[in-house]
């Protein structure tokens, strides 16, 4: 029965698309229940060789052929219609509308046989967009930069989505071939080389995947079968059919995709985009099934694999296990930390920031990732979130002060470094992030104060769609005119504006900021106190504005006390602090600040972070 294609057959390999058989032949298998006849078409220039496929169980069709070389182009014809690429294509070298190509991941010469992965508590994520991270915009162009990321203290790359999308420019969330690594980035072979190089450098690599919708251009799945449903709707298009008629094969399509990334492509984890838009009322929800597939793969591979969900619902059920009615996901993004810090430092109160801006929310976000845990949300007009169970630890939450969403979902894609011009405030944000008890995520270039924007961009070929995107972006930001004019998403100049400068010359504020990130990331590994929970409060004797105290560890066991001046004015030291001599300060000259390394501290400078009772970072 088709149900066996779900989580009960975790030991099975990829079952659809073009796969290699033990005798060297190639087998094609496609799910097309809406067709009565399916032909495989081998494409060689203008020559077509047509091979009828045999109907097998539950709407699947299959054919096996000898002598197929890697790179062979092919397509399917449904009931004699137009040629369509393979829904499970691993390679679309000529774009989303062109034939697929045979590729055999198992032929890659991996060198990572001793790779043991990165345990969850040691994860430090570096989110990057392949196309704008380097001038070349390819997987392999990332490799020379890996040593700099490792030296910084990064332990895991997180790639924005790479599933094949229309054209050569896209954030990745408009992908239409979930199995195919973007051809303009270097395709599956380029990705394999990057993964292998990451492991050689001691870095894990995690991929952002989109299982809530597919993009609008080159999306032919609906012609094959009921991949989508009208019962639900996402903000980006039709929802994926996880619980309706025909959903067994759709679930198999996604779970095989999970297996492929983790096992065939050797990735160390998946970030699941916008899981609040994944709708599944079945008894065995797809989110739980994805986690089970990853757990099974981790057990067989003998190394940790991580599933991280993005959700803005502040819902503990994402992380709690099935016994408590949850999904048991390894970790999740937690947005409240970002919102609390961003709103306080920028003064913005529009959109969802109207729920934030008070200094006490930063203190609360340091103690619990859900600032809203059943509290009333003005922005939503209702109570939002729920409290976390005490056994859900801080290492199950990923937090940031910048990411692709929070930067890119602005009219012009402004970064924090351009919104907050005071360098000391940028250093304060780094300290709040890296002294928090959660798993930190840095958005590419953040560590040195990159000022190039990261606006939304795409390169659709459909002119009507291109115009609809332009008009949609303009409408979306009509109420945010103060953010500036929306650049044309389809213009190559918009894409080019997002390329990193990737420079931090000695003696510049950039070099100092990067040194601060590096020192604090080293401290996270070296200081035992930073493995403990956090206690945070606003001190009542701060005379000129909010002063935040963060305690990690215990006073008698190498505890750490950090003081944050959350204001643009100097603040006296809290009563009872005494003269601490020369504690560590984010305002030391080595970080671009105004303090000498041995300077005695008598007050906190604007936006300064002091650490008392801790050695200098390694």
Mean pLDDT of 16-25: 95
Domains and CATH numbers, the chain: 12-107 (2.60.40.10), 509-612 (2.60.40)
Residue 263 has pLDDT above 60, yes or no: yes
Q: So what's the pLDDT on residue 7? A: 40
User: Which residue would you say has higher pLDDT here, 484 or 70?
Assistant: 70
Cα–Cα dist 61/55, whole Å: 4
Residue 223 has pLDDT above 80, yes or no: yes
Residue 275 has pLDDT above 60, yes or no: yes
Q: Is 310 a catalytic residue?
A: yes
Mean pLDDT of 12-26: 89
Count CB atoms within 10 A of the CB of residue 320. 18
Q: Are 214 and 291 in contact, with CB atoms under 8 Å apart?
A: no
Cα–Cα dist 73/70, whole Å: 9
113-126 residue pLDDT tens: 999 999 999 999 99
- Under the banding of pLDDT at 50, 70 and 90, the label for residue 580 is low
390-404 residue pLDDT tens: 999 999 999 999 999
- Under the banding of pLDDT at 50, 70 and 90, the label for residue 378 is very high
- Structural Rg of the chain based on CA atoms: 25
Q: So what's the pLDDT on residue 370? A: 98
Q: So what's the pLDDT on residue 604? A: 94
Q: Which of 217, 310, 312, 355 is catalytic?
A: 310
Residue 12 has pLDDT above 60, yes or no: no
Q: So what's the pLDDT on residue 579? A: 54
Q: Is 273 a catalytic residue?
A: yes
Residues of 420-455 as b/e, b for ≥16 C-beta within 10 angstroms? beebbbbbbbbbbbbbbbbbbbbbbbbbbbbebbbb
Cα–Cα dist 205/193, whole Å: 12
Residue 293 has pLDDT above 50, yes or no: yes
Residue 555 has pLDDT above 80, yes or no: no
User: Which residue would you say has higher pLDDT here, 29 or 233?
Assistant: 29
- Under the banding of pLDDT at 50, 70 and 90, the label for residue 15 is confident
Which residue, among 291, 262, 306, has the nearest Cα to 155 in the 3D structure? 306
Q: Are 549 and 571 in contact, with CB atoms under 8 Å apart?
A: no
What values do phi and psi take at 233, rounded to 5? -145, 135
User: Which residue would you say has higher pLDDT here, 473 or 452?
Assistant: 452
72-107 residue pLDDT tens: 999 999 999 999 999 999 999 999 999 999 999 999
Residue 581 has pLDDT above 90, yes or no: no
Q: Which of 256-265, 506-515, 543-552 has the lowest mean pLDDT?
A: 543-552
Q: So what's the pLDDT on residue 59? A: 95
Q: Are 514 and 506 in contact, with CB atoms under 8 Å apart?
A: no
E strand or H helix that includes residue 177? strand 177-181
Residue 542 has pLDDT above 80, yes or no: no
User: Which residue would you say has higher pLDDT here, 485 or 1?
Assistant: 485
Q: So what's the pLDDT on residue 503? A: 97
Residue 613 has pLDDT above 80, yes or no: no
* Assigned token pair, 87: 């829904």
Q: Which of 127, 158, 217, 273 is catalytic?
A: 273
Which residue, among 421, 404, 422, has the nearest Cα to 413 in the 3D structure? 404
* Assigned token pair, 245: 């008629």
Among residues of the chain, what percentage have pLDDT more than 90? Answer: 84
DSSP alpha helices (H): ranges in 507-615?
Answer: 509-526
Rounded alpha-carbon distances, angstroms, from residue 432 to 36, 335, 440, 610: 60, 14, 10, 11
Residue 454 has pLDDT above 60, yes or no: yes
Mean pLDDT of 251-257: 97
Count CB atoms within 10 A of the CB of residue 193. 17
318-348 residue pLDDT tens: 999 988 889 999 999 999 999 999 999 999 9
Q: So what's the pLDDT on residue 6? A: 46
422-435 residue pLDDT tens: 999 999 999 999 99
Q: So what's the pLDDT on residue 149? A: 98
Q: So what's the pLDDT on residue 428? A: 98
* pTM to 2 decimal places: 0.96
């Amino acid at each position: 029965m088709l149900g066996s294609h779900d989580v009960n057959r975790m030991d099975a390999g990829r079952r659809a698309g073009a796969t290699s058989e033990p005798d060297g032949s190639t087998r094609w298998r496609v799910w097309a229940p809406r067709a009565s006849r399916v032909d495989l078409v081998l494409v060689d220039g203008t020559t077509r060789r047509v091979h009828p496929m045999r109907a097998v169980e539950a709407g699947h069709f299959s054919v096996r052929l000898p002598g197929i070389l890697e790179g062979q182009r092919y397509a399917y014809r449904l009931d004699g219609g137009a040629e369509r690429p393979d829904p499970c294509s691993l390679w679309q070298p000529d774009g989303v509308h062109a034939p697929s190509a045979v590729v055999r991941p198992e032929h890659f010469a991996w060198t990572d046989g001793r790779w043991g992965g990165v345990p969850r508590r040691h994860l430090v994520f570096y989110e990057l967009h392949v196309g704008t991270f380097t001038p070349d915009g390819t997987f392999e162009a990332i490799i020379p930069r890996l040593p700099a990321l490792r030296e910084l203290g990064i332990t895991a790359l997180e790639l924005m989505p790479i599933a094949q999308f229309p054209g050569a420019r896209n954030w990745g969330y408009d992908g239409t071939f979930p199995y195919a690594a973007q051809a303009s980035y270097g395709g599956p072979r380029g990705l394999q080389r990057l993964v292998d190089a990451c492991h050689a450098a001691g870095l894990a690599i995690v991929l952002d995947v989109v299982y809530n919708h597919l993009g609008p251009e080159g999306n032919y799945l609906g012609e094959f079968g009921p991949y989508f449903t009208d019962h639900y709707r996402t903000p980006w298009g039709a929802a994926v059919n996880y619980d309706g008629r025909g959903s067994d094969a759709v679930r198999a399509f996604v779970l095989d995709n999970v297996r492929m990334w983790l096992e065939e492509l050797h990735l160390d984890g998946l970030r699941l985009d916008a899981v609040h838009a994944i709708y599944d009322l079945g008894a065995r929800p797809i989110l739980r099934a994805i986690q089970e597939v990853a757990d099974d793969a981790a057990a067989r591979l003998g190394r940790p694999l991580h599933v991280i969900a993005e959700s803005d619902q502040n819902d503990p059920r994402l992380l709690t296990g099935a016994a408590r009615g949850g999904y048991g996901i390894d970790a999740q993004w937690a947005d409240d930390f970002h919102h609390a810090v961003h709103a306080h430092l920028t003064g913005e109160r529009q959109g969802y920031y109207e729920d934030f801006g008070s200094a006490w929310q930063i203190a609360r976000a340091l103690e619990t990732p859900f600032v809203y845990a059943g509290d009333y949300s003005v922005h939503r007009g209702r109570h939002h979130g729920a409290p976390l169970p005490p056994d859900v630890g801080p290492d199950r939450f990923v937090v940031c002060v910048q990411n692709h969403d929070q930067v890119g979902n602005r009219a012009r894609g402004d970064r924090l470094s351009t919104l907050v011009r005071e360098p000391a405030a940028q250093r304060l944000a780094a300290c709040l992030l890296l002294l928090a008890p959660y798993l930190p995520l840095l958005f590419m270039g953040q560590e040195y104060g990159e000022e190039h924007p990261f606006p939304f961009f795409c390169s659709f070929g459909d002119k009507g769609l291109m115009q609809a995107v332009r008009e949609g972006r303009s409408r979306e930001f009509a109420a945010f005119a103060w953010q500036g004019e929306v650049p044309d998403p389809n213009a190559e100049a918009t894409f080019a504006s997002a390329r990193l400068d990737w420079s931090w010359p000695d003696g510049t504020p950039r070099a100092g900021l990067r040194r601060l990130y590096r020192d604090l990331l080293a401290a996270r590994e070296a200081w035992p106190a930073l493995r403990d929970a956090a206690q945070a409060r606003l001190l009542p004797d701060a005379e000129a504005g909010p002063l935040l105290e963060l305690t990690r560890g215990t006073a008698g066991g190498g505890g750490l006390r950090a003081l944050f001046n959350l204001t643009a004015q100097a603040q006296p030291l809290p009563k009872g602090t005494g003269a601490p001599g020369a504690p560590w300060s984010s305002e030391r000259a080595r970080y671009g600040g105004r303090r000498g390394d041995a300077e005695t501290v008598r007050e906190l400078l604007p936006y300064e972070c002091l650490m008392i009772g801790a050695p200098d970072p390694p």
